[in-house]
Chains A and B, each alone.
Chain A
Amino acid sequence: MSRRSLTRRAFVVGSVAVAGGAAFGVYMLGKPHDNPLEATLGPGEAALTPYVRIDAQGVTLITPRADSGQGVAHVQAAFLAEELDVDLEAVRVDPGPPGAAYWNTALAGEAAEFTVPSGGLMRDLAESALGAAMKVIGLQITGGSTTVPDQFVKLRAAAASARETLKQAAAARTGVARDALRTEAGQVILPDGTALPYGALAGDLAGVAVVQDVALRPPSAWRYIGQPMARIDMVAKCTGTQTYGIDLEIDGMVHAAIRLNPAQGGAMTGFDATRALQMRGVQGVVAVTGGIAALADNTWRAMQAAEAVEVDWGPAPMPATMAQHWQALSEAFTEDRRDSRKRDDGDVETALAGGEVIEAEYRAPYLAHAPLEPVSAIVRVDDGKAEVWTGTQIPRFVQKNVARIAGIDPEAVTLHAQMMGGSFGHRLEDEVVRRATEIAVQRPGVPVKLTYSREEDMTHDFPRQIAMARLRGRVAEGRVEAMDLRVACPSVMASQMGRQDMPVPGPDSQIVAGAWNAPFAFPHHRVTGYRAPELAPVSSWRSVGASHAGFFHNAALDELIHAAGADPMEERLRLCSDPLARKVLEAVAEMSAWTGPLSAGRGRGVALTTSFGVPCAEVIEVRHTDAGIRIENVWVAAEVGLVVDPVNFENLVQGGVIFGLAHAMNCEITYEGGIAEQANFDSYPGMRLAQAPKIAVRGLENGAALRGIGEPPVPPAAPALAGAIFAATGLRLREMPFSRFIDFA
């Protein structure tokens, strides 16, 4: 890959003296004065995020980006270690000193610093929703697929500068020329073998000019990048010593549990807490937006008390039945609701005018995010300031919303980001923090810890968008000739940003993500997005629009290929128009030894979706047993430019495939009278270990840009499974979850 094209000319390296050492980081060229930190920092404080601090204690990576399970902090530490010549295990990772002024403002600085990568979601957004909203969404997904690409150059550049500056400090101290020095294992080594630990040199750094424009090491010299690494959070997570947000305790804290109107978004019109207030340990019941919260000396007692409150509820501001939700989508395929037509090859209308037209309709349901850790937040409001402890991917919004509810300045809100027990997009919303703040303002000075029950969390999630597609297509002479795919759904971006009071102008390319950019060239190919009105409020769910539109496009293509009498793999290979995507398809064909139909009762399906700039292909093999469909094997390949850590990569890809399969199999949120009918994992089961297939993974490195892998394995899973079920049973599945139509073993 042309890693050199990611030139560090785009950045200047900054070095700032800190107590007992120095901090190194990168700004965007031309932006240093936009960094809001400069105005608020005391002398000697660093204004770079993320950055590396070198002091007497050694090397610390300061990164405010909380980790939801993808090993992002670990990968960033590896980038640092690569250029700084420290052992990976010796890099400490710190979210920044809690309470220090620069931590707060650094969050805002992060948005100002955000750069637009050249592909995928960010490019789509840049085209469709310029301005503040884009920056904000960029900030939102930093925990996922954009963090690694973003930091790949920046952190290595900062580390390379730090290394050379340390050598310069050693040169000044010893009189040996910098060129004659080398570095190893956190030390500068003199020609005579004398070793000066970085920590011992840290005090000299303030007097040394930072060494700029250090060339990054070529891939052939890498020690960590590309090698299997031991994740730095692994031991803690396997010994029960990792503290998540839900585990945190603050002195003097009171526990709170919430009960919101079961009808999503409905009002609370009155309550009687008499019985709850008599329960043991209960310290009060207060009103919050849309519900009540009970306060107690223990999580369980608070939850019991919340249940015991008698509450009057208002109606839900959404259609009463699922039939009405689907009806609204079905009525959205109109010219005045047309949102985008980003693909229009050939002449679809003429091509479909004569002969047999193949038509079909597809559906994707609402889905909860349901990370295994229910959401929680601790908030203390006092004396014109607030402190917040929570796991979040939107620190800047949290700061703003807490400030608004508490009636204070955003700068007066200090956020302590916590480790998250999963997110999948759930922590891109901040309802739990807003509710906790509403309670906290009613208990000034008291840290209020609000923990959602699983039921409150699942039924008040803002789910993945509901979506519908209509296909008209044509085949001729054994080939796919024309595809006209129309996709209708509410705008997830408008819904999500609307809760942050941010308008999203222009079309929402997520409606057609993974479909309009499908890497296939049919003679006639058109993809149109239609914006349905908002029904239930919706939010970004792992892989966002590609989670529905990637399914629709692949499923539609399968129908046309079948009608043409062609092979799903061969015809895709013939039609594939993107060389990188073709290599991904070829990889799964080879890995699975694809040979066409299998023996009776077995079937294979294939799908390819490009999302977040990553073409990802999957072949899935199923067996039709007496107990139902058994998913036996998955072969998956993805083009990511560079596999930073093959072990973590394999884990994330396998997890993404399972996430896609689990929801396609048996998950949906349905609303009756605005009330979610699934509240816990008994009715939202997902996949269990016994159902997990063997999953063979291959990462390809033919592309020029480094890409994240959090989302891309999700979209192809559902259509590849549908294709496999069709091959095994003859049943064509056009609507998720498939458990509505067939059993899974």
Chain B
Amino acid sequence: MKFTVNGVRHEADVEAEMPLLWVLRDELKIKGVKYGCGIAQCGACTVHLDGEAVRSCQIWAEDAEGAEITTIEGLGTAEALHAVQAAWIARQVAQCGYCQSGQIMQAAALLAGNPAPSDAEIDAAMSGNLCRCGTYPRIRAAIHDAADRLREA
């Protein structure tokens, strides 16, 4: 399969049904995308596929053929943070941090389509992302904070 990840073209010789999650993690060694459940229940594996937030554990390699994929590493870096990452850091959201790549990718997709989401819209968009450490109050605050940052930018 051929596809683009974080602006770089990649080729992977894998089974058609290998989940994109494992293509990214084990074949391309892009480890920011996390495995939590494998059955679309936790959101830890969330990436952007052609601009949309998807669970990479549910996307077969063959369905990602030709796609533009963005992972947390491509969203922003320590030197050039995306507004959502900056808000996450300002609000000190993470505990163990394991869910946060997926939370941030989900939130970034939400804000890309809806620059000023209400609490109800945040609830609807974010409730597929499980945080076992219980950082939800800070996630909610950080999304509002990120929306402000994006508006000012």
**Chain A residues near B (Cβ < 8 Å):** 68-71, 228, 230-231, 233-244, 246-247, 249, 255, 280, 298-301, 370-374, 420-424, 451, 453-454, 647-648, 651-652, 654-659, 662, 680-682, 686-692, 694-695
Contacts and interface: CB of A to CB of B under 8 A. Distances in A.
B26 A690 contact: no
B36 A373 contact: yes
Interface residues of B, number: 61
A689 B134 contact: no
B63 interface: no
Contact of B134 (A249, A301, A423, A656): A656
Nearest to B126: A689
A662 B130 CA distance: 11
A689 B31 contact: no
A692 B18 CA distance: 35
A692 B119 CA distance: 12
Given A298-B27, A680-B39, A652 B85 contact: no
B1 to A, nearest CB: 14
20 contacts: A230-B89, A231-B94, A234-B93, A235-B89, A238-B81, A239-B76, A239-B78, A240-B101, A241-B32, A241-B78, A242-B97, A299-B22, A301-B18, A372-B96, A372-B98, A421-B34, A422-B133, A648-B92, A651-B138, A687-B136
Given A235-B78, A237-B100, A654 B130 contact: no
B95 A655 contact: yes
A702 to B, nearest CB: 26
B127 A690 contact: yes
Interface string B25-50: 11101011111111101101000000
Nearest to B29: A249
B98 A230 contact: no
Contacts of A372: 34, 36, 42, 44, 96, 98-99, 130-133
Interface in B101-120: 101, 104
Contacts of B39: 454, 680-682
A717 to B, nearest CB: 10
Contacts of A69: 94-98, 133
Contact of A300 (B26, B73, B122, B140): B26
Interface string B71-83: 1110111100100
A577 B132 CA distance: 35
A694 B36 contact: no
Contacts of B35: 246, 299, 374, 451, 454
A651 B21 CA distance: 29
Given A298-B26, A372-B42, A454-B36, A686 B96 contact: no
B139 interface: yes
A358 to B, nearest CB: 35
A680 B57 CA distance: 14
B96 A420 contact: yes
Given A421-B98, A694-B137, A695-B137, A238 B93 contact: yes
Nearest to A243: B31
A241 B127 contact: no
B123 interface: yes
Most chain B beta-carbon neighbours within 10 Å: one of A241, A372, A687, A688: A372
A373 B96 contact: yes
B92 A230 contact: yes
Given A234-B94, A371-B98, A681-B37, A424 B89 contact: no
Contact of B32 (A240, A370, A373, A453): A240
Contacts of A681: 36-37, 39, 41-42, 130
Nearest to A647: B92
A351 B26 CA distance: 67
Contacts, number: 185
Interface of B: 15, 18-19, 21-22, 25-27, 29, 31-39, 41-42, 44, 71-73, 75-78, 81, 85, 88-89, 92-101, 104, 122-124, 126-140
B135 A655 contact: yes
B94 A238 contact: yes
B94 A373 contact: no
B90 to A, nearest CB: 9
Nearest to A391: B96
A689 B132 contact: no
Nearest to B26: A298
Nearest to B92: A647
A215 B135 CA distance: 38
B94 A233 contact: yes
Contacts of A231: 92, 94
A427 B75 CA distance: 31
A239 B133 contact: no
Contacts of B33: 240
A590 B74 CA distance: 47
B95 A689 contact: no
B38 A454 contact: yes
Given A70-B95, A420-B96, A451-B35, 5 more contacts: A241-B32, A372-B36, A422-B98, A651-B92, A658-B134
A422 to B, nearest CB: 4
A709 B99 CA distance: 22
B15 A280 contact: yes
B37 to A, nearest CB: 5
Contacts of A239: 32, 72-73, 76-78, 81, 85
A694 B137 CA distance: 7
Contacts of A244: 98
Contacts of A420: 96
Contacts of B77: 239
Contacts of A240: 31-33, 71-73, 75, 101
A66 to B, nearest CB: 11
Contacts of A243: 31
B48 to A, nearest CB: 13
Nearest to A296: B26
Contacts of A682: 39, 41
Contacts of B78: 235-236, 239, 241
Most chain B beta-carbon neighbours within 10 Å: one of A68, A652, A686, A692: A692
Given A689-B123, A690-B124, A652 B36 contact: no
A420 B81 CA distance: 24
Contacts of B104: 238
Given A240-B71, A240-B101, A373-B96, A453 B38 contact: yes
Contacts of A692: 134, 136-137, 140
A244 B71 CA distance: 17
B140 A689 contact: yes
B98 A373 contact: yes
A656 B134 CA distance: 7
Contacts of A68: 96
Most chain B beta-carbon neighbours within 10 Å: one of A71, A230, A246, A681: A681
Contact of B127 (A246, A299, A689): A689
Given A69-B97, A240-B72, A454-B36, A299 B26 contact: yes
Given A69-B97, A239-B81, A680-B41, A688 B130 contact: yes
A170 B39 CA distance: 61
Nearest to B25: A299
Most chain B beta-carbon neighbours within 10 Å: one of A236, A239, A241: A239
Nearest to B76: A239
